[in-house]
């Protein structure tokens, strides 16, 4: 369990929060911006080297806050040459996984929002391990900063894309997750554009509605995997709490309120949900929605015996969706050899 009495982490404070803290300590608010940029834009915690900071403020930061990076328990690089996975150590001994993925013209960090997951999706390694705890805002932010620091030290590239698709259900940890997106989007820090941040949910309906009501600008991805209540509930237990018709009503509310589309994720499992009839069912479900379908061939996990779809079946599935005017993409499989693909992340191997 986390030490709730530990000093607050600077990584979890917004810039306004840091400014308020510095002012509360009777130092000039202007120093907060220098601290913020040193930490978030340059990935440094050696505040003693930061020119212009009063010695008393440096001492106060050291005594009253923390700003440590997550420890690296394991660093694994895929044979594909594009994927690197980090097993990161939390202060209470829990471990989480974070993935650096390279695509043409961009680098993406896939970060976790929980240690474990309570959603229990049958083909997901994180769901198979169960739920340990929510991550703090600082622990979510620290993962993105870790990837940013790796890039700066190795290639000089900038992190520009973030997907909240690692371990855990982001909308089950709504406050910490959204606070982290605000910090990572701050223009004085990493300055990630909300348009380049995607939050993936298995269908936590209250969270989807809240995203719309709060007008949160991150992109939304919703995992379906089944186009009927029975088919979906067999793979995604949360469908019993929020049935498919309730989920789709929330998605329509989101699209109407935000005036934007949703990415729907569909894990293609051979013989289970990759048949033409499955594609037709999905087409009928989404044909009047503002939607883009991401098709993800199943990635193997120890706790699930299904097989990934074939390339031919994936193309056929896409062709059926096109009949309904639904755009779709077959996602590139990355890092499968190091269990870094969608649904493969877990803290123990």
Together in a domain, 39 and 124: no
Domain membership of residue 330 (yes or no) is yes
Domain of 14: which CATH number? 1.10.150
pLDDT (tens digit per residue) in 151-208: 999 999 999 999 999 999 999 999 999 999 999 999 999 999 999 999 999 999 999 9
Domain membership of residue 89 (yes or no) is yes
What is the rounded distance in angstroms from the CA atom of residue 315 to the CA atom of residue 123? 22
How does DSSP classify residue 125? H
Together in a domain, 24 and 129: no
How does DSSP classify residue 328? E
Together in a domain, 260 and 131: yes
Domain membership of residue 345 (yes or no) is no
Together in a domain, 128 and 163: yes
**Residue 141 banded pLDDT, cuts 50, 70, 90:** very high
Domain boundary among 37, 64, 91: 64
Decide if 122 contacts 339 (C-beta within 8 A): no
Together in a domain, 277 and 172: yes
- Please state, as a whole number, how many other Cβ atoms lie within 10 Å of the Cβ of residue 45: 17
Domain that holds residue 46: 10-64
Domain membership of residue 107 (yes or no) is yes
- Among left, alpha and beta (phi > 0; psi -120 to 50; other), residue 129 is alpha
Together in a domain, 111 and 247: yes
Together in a domain, 38 and 93: no
Together in a domain, 53 and 136: no
Name the residues annotated as catalytic: 97, 342
Domain count, the chain: 2
Together in a domain, 165 and 281: yes
Together in a domain, 98 and 193: yes
Domain membership of residue 138 (yes or no) is yes
Together in a domain, 305 and 175: yes
pLDDT (tens digit per residue) in 95-122: 999 999 998 888 999 999 999 999 999 8
pTM equals 0.95
Give every CB contact of residue 265 below 8 A, 6+ residues apart in sequence. 200, 221, 222, 223, 224, 225, 293, 294, 296
- Helix or strand (DSSP H, E) at 262: strand 262-268
Together in a domain, 229 and 171: yes
pLDDT (tens digit per residue) in 273-327: 999 999 999 999 999 899 999 999 998 888 888 999 999 999 999 999 999 999 9
């Amino acid at each position: 369990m986390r030490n709730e009495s530990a000093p607050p982490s600077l990584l979890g404070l917004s810039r306004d929060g840091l400014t308020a803290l510095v002012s509360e300590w009777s130092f000039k608010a202007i120093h907060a911006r220098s601290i913020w940029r040193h930490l978030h834009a340059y990935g440094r915690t050696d505040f003693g080297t930061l020119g212009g900071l009063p010695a008393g403020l440096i001492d106060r930061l050291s005594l009253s806050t923390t700003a440590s990076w997550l420890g690296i328990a394991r660093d694994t690089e895929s044979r594909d040459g594009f994927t690197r996975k980090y097993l990161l150590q939390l202060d209470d001994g829990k471990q989480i996984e974070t993935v650096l993925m390279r695509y043409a013209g961009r680098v993406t960090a896939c970060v976790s929002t929980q240690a474990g997951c309570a959603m229990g999706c049958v083909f997901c390694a994180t769901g198979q391990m169960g739920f340990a705890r929510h991550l703090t805002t600082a622990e979510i932010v620290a993962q993105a900063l870790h990837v940013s620091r790796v890039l700066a030290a190795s290639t000089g590239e900038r992190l520009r894309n973030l997907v909240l698709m690692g371990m855990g259900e982001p909308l089950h940890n709504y406050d910490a997750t959204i606070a982290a997106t605000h910090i990572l989007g701050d223009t004085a820090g990493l300055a990630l554009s909300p348009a380049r941040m995607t939050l993936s949910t298995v269908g936590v309906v209250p969270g989807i509605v809240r995203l719309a009501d709060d007008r949160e600008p991150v992109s939304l991805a919703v995992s379906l995997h089944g186009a009927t209540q029975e088919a979906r509930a067999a793979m995604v237990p949360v469908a019993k709490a929020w049935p498919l018709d309730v989920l789709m009503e929330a998605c329509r509310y989101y699209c109407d309120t935000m005036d934007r589309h949703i990415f729907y994720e569909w894990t293609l499992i051979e013989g289970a949900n990759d048949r033409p009839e499955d594609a037709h069912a999905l087409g009928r479900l989404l044909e009047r929605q503002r939607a883009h379908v991401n098709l993800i061939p199943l990635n193997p996990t120890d706790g699930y015996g299904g097989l990934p779809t074939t390339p031919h079946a994936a193309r056929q599935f896409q062709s059926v969706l096109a009949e309904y005017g639904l755009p779709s993409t077959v996602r590139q499989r990355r890092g499968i050899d190091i269990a870094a693909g969608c649904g493969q992340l877990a803290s123990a191997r």
